[in-house]
Amino acid sequence: MPMNHETFWCLLHPVQYLLWFFHGLHSRPGSERLR
């Protein structure tokens, strides 16, 4: 099953957003209090 451009971006975009979100959580000063 070949992946077209739209399917690729539909899969990549949520992953990139989650990585961005977790990166923001770890870079916040209160992140070590949550662990």
pLDDT, tens digit (0-9, with 9 covering 90-100), for 1-35? 576 888 888 888 888 888 888 888 878 666 555 55
Three-class SS of the chain = CCCCHHHHHHHHHHHHHHHHHHHHHHHCCCHHHHC
Confidence (pLDDT) at 33: 59
Q: What pLDDT does 16 receive?
A: 87
pLDDT digits (tens, 9 = 90+) for 14-23: 888 888 888 8
